[in-house]
Chains A and B, each alone.
Chain A
Amino acid sequence: MAAAVALRMMSDAVPLTLDARSLSRSFAGRPVVRDVELKLKRGEVLGFLGPNGAGKTTTMQMLTGNLSPGAGSIAICGVDLLEHPVEAKRHVGYLPETPPLYRELRVDEYLELAARLRRVPKKDVARAATKARDRCGLTGAGSQLIGTLSKGYQQRVGIAQAIVHEPELIVLDEPTVGLDPNQIREIRSLIRELAEGRGVILSTHILPEVESVCDRVQIMNEGSVVYSGTVTALRALRGGRALLVGLREPPPVIELQALPGVATVAALGEHLFRIEPQGDAEVGEAIVHLAVERGWRLYQIAPAQASLEEIFAHLTQREDAPAEASA
């Protein structure tokens, strides 16, 4: 215990909320997570992105002590999760893919149980439960049985149990799955709010979700991190400024290529072009103007944002098979 306390005091000097190094895990000899590094500072929201089966959930289970890593180390607020699991878990709140709810309990009872099990001091249990309940918009639902709540409300109870002990690190596995658009908006703003003074990791496979709530993104594919960087950098990667232009009577590609500020033009079909501007150049206005002047019959002009799948394809091809990228 003394060692644990000493470690906790050290964590005041080390601001890293989470420091996971070279995490690996395999199931029945098949590697599922390979050499994953994760670092999270206070007040930061990290988006964990990847297709199904990329190893997101496995990584999150390891970070929360539900699964022991095959190799690597995890430190939460400076406390080693593998050496001092009980001490380290005090700082973690976890919402798994399926919220771990006891259907036969009322919301208040459940949150109080969660607070007690996470070692909230006895006198603060009721207050902590009420606070978490109100933050998650469950104010009127305290005396309802969890089993009778709708999916959206159950998801909120799941988030409330993850934050009831005010942990330093909050891990949310697909927190907005199965919610309606209004609920998704509410949950997203709640996540931003929660990040004040703590670290939040959330996994998702919805790209706009990451863009709206995260500071940093880590993309996983087949167990490895294929991209790690800020959301702004991801946006650039996503093709950010390219334009998709549709012309009924298009001029030769050479003519488009010659426009000022245009870097490259790719013909996607007989009438559709993808135009990449040079640096910060604005080419949209010039294209519309010329299209009218020269009778190209413009019918569409839109930002050509790549889908998440395209980014995955891009990233994984670059990582694994550079030779096939041109094919």
Chain B
Amino acid sequence: MILTIAAKELRALFVSPLAWVVLAFFQLILAWILLARLDAFLAIQSQLVALANSPGATELVISPVFGVASIVLVMAVPLLSMRLVAEERRNQTMTFLLSAPLSVSEIVLGKFFGLAAFLLLPVLLIGAMGATLAVGGRLDWGLVVSNVIGLALVAAGLAAIGLYASCLTAHPVVAAVTALAISLALWMINLATSDPASPVQVVSLLKHYEPFTKGMVSTANLAYFALLTGLFLALAARRLDADRLRG
């Protein structure tokens, strides 16, 4: 059932011009960043050779590209997630799902996996773009994989936030703005303090994403993203369930 709904959502994304436009711009921006970083890397390459234990192309080109990709995702995911529930409400098609023999969690998970599957596409494309550098030199494949995992987890978390925001309203634009606000707040909340021990650091998305771009995949960070995603999916399910009780 979850897969059936996911397939329906994936299809809905692919028939909308919005998803294609977002995907195209995402790719364009990151290709441009990759080339710019590559230029900079080539300019200093001769000096790097002189250093002992010098950073390689993976560290100096690919990781920064993933860093930018994560910020672009913060902007792009709300645009892709805004229609998930809000538009169904507006078109009054929600009854199609609500009167079918489905539980609310099946509906939420189906919609989430549909969007997550779509987001996996740009994440893998960025990975593939980085991997093309292997043509001209040696890459640290472990670091590339850790970058891909990190970005995929960020995408999953953002998708869950977007889905929840979409459950709050019947207006896709309001859903997009809400999702962007929540995502950005979680992203930069660590700026509020310079104290590394502050509890604010614990909820910051950025703080938990950064280690992945340095090649560190730790259980704590994996758990953070699992919790973040799970929390917003649970909130979304609660919100949808409350629709039956409204008034």
Q: A28-B247, A98-B92 are in contact. Are A89 and B101 (CB under 8 A)?
A: yes
1/0 per position for A78-120, CB-CB distance to B under 8 A? 0000000111111010101010111111000000011011110
Cα separation A104 to B88 with both chains bound (whole Å): 13
Instruction: Please indicate the chain B residues that have their CB under 8 angstroms from the CB of A102 in the complex.
Output: 8, 12, 93, 96
| Interface membership of B94, Cβ < 8 A | yes
Residues in B neighbouring A105, C-beta threshold 8 A: 11
Interface hits, A15-29 → B, CB 8 Å: 25-28
Decide yes or no: A66 and B98 within 8 Å by CB, A96-B92, A117-B5 being known contacts: yes
Chain B residues with Cβ below 8 Å from A100 are 91-96
Of A27, A66, A116, the residue contacting B99 (CB under 8 A) is A66
- Contact residues on B (Cβ < 8 Å of other chain), bracket: 20 to 34
Any chain A CB within 8 A of the CB of B35? no
**How many chain A residues have a CB neighbour from B under 8 Å?**
32
The CA of A87 and the CA of B95, in the complex, are separated in Å by 17
B80 to chain A, nearest CB (A): 16
- Return chain B residues, CB-CB under 8 Å to A90: 101
Cβ–Cβ contact B247 & A113, under 8 A: no
B96 near A118: Cβ-Cβ < 8 Å: no
Q: How far, in angstroms, from A100 to B100 measured CA to CA in the complex?
A: 12
Determine whether the beta carbon of A94 is less than 8 Å from that of B95.
yes
- Seen from chain B, the residues whose Cβ lies within 8 Å of a Cβ on chain A are 1, 4-5, 8, 11-12, 15-16, 91-103, 244-247
Known A66-B99, A104-B15; further 20 A-B contacts with Cβ < 8 A: A27-B247, A64-B99, A66-B244, A67-B244, A86-B103, A87-B101, A89-B101, A92-B99, A94-B99, A100-B91, A100-B93, A100-B95, A103-B91, A104-B16, A114-B96, A116-B4, A117-B5, A117-B102, A118-B100, A118-B101
Give residues in A with beta carbon < 8 Å to B. Answer: 25-28, 64-68, 85-90, 92, 94, 96, 98, 100-105, 113-114, 116-119, 161
